[in-house]
Amino acid sequence: MKAYKATLCIAVRKNSPEDGGIWNMEEIVWFIPLKGTPIMYGAPLEELQLRRQRPCQQSRTQEPLVIEGEVGTSAHIRLYANLPGFVEDSKENKLFQWRILVNHCYGNDFLDSKFAVQKMIEITQTGCDLVSTLKTIPRVELSGIFRPARSFRISAFLCISSKSGGVWRFPVILNAHQSQKSEQRLEFTASDPQTSDFRKLHLDSRESKPAKFRAFFETSKSKEFTLDVTEGILPARGSGYFTLTIKFSKRRGGILSKERLVIQTPRQEWIYELTG
């Protein structure tokens, strides 16, 4: 049998509204004999609270699912995804693989986004049912834990793949909120507006290698707290430390000043609560 290279543009329409997400046109390249499944873009994943809806129904919007958690905590998640166009053959056992591909980060080029999606979220397949009228569409159940080590907001795709080559992409947002807990509380004293008080923080990267850092105040309203530097390199854990100096200058008598100092590296984040 002679092999030929073929470039095809295939348009597929759903037989009924229950057949899953929106189909797109994809250009695919095959060699004869033709075999394979094109990449299909699925509708957003269903969250656990949508479980009571018709089991094969997908949202008609393309708004991504938001997975949220707070830094330093563990958020348990459960997701459901319909896989229309699934082709079953002898290789398939309805066990699928998944990975998260970063689309972009919202205003945070300082983040190690690859580390965030690989190490801060764990997902495993915990079930698979066949839905639709003909019982041909797998509905995959995924369970996992979201453990962010620093705050960020990432637009990404959750990609689910089958052994026969099918790939489904679902848009998601990973949203990690800053922790409300502080690493340490630092108290400053200044008797009058002409005096200042200082505190020194001895910092390392908390990792086995050095890391870039940046320091900033959570709000910019207060002018009473200042830093001697706002960015630099933190040494590896156990190899020394970087000294960051915080200055407090009293500007208003009789009024308690509060601020939160945020220290960020590409992979971690910690917060100090300041009062004076």
Which residue, among 127, 116, 125, 109, has the nearest Cα to 67 in the 3D structure?
A: 116
Q: Which position has the higher pLDDT, 180 or 53?
A: 180
Residues 3-54: pLDDT tens digits?
445 555 555 555 555 555 555 545 444 443 433 344 444 444 554 334 334 4
**Would the pTM count as exceeding 0.85?**
no
- List, edge to edge, every strand of the sheet that includes 46-47: 46-47, 75-82, 137-146, 121-131
**Token pair of 209, please?**
């290698």
pLDDT tens-digit profile of 97-116? 899 999 989 876 789 999 99
Confirm if 95 and 124 have CB atoms less than 8 A apart. no
Evaluate the CA torsion angle 45, 48, 50, 54 in order and state its sign. Answer: positive
Ramachandran bin of 103, using left for φ above 0, alpha for ψ from -120 to 50, beta for the remaining angles: alpha
| Residue 247 C-alpha from the chain's centroid | 35
Residue 264 predicted with pLDDT over 70: yes
Higher pLDDT: 75 or 166? It is 75
- CA distance to 40, 41, 63, per residue, from 18 (Å): 16, 16, 19
Which range, 84-88, 168-172, 247-251, 262-266, is most confident?
Answer: 262-266
Dist CA 62 CA 2 (whole Å): 42
Q: pLDDT class for 212, splitting at 50, 70, 90?
A: very high
Which domains occur in the chain, in start order?
A: 5-177 (no CATH), 184-275 (2.60.40.10)
Average pLDDT of every residue of the chain? 78
Residue 11 tokens read as 């348009």
pLDDT tens-digit readout, 145-166: 999 999 999 999 889 888 877 8
- Whether the per-residue pLDDT at 170 is higher than 80: the answer is yes
C-alpha to C-alpha distance for 97 and 76, rounded to whole angstroms? 20
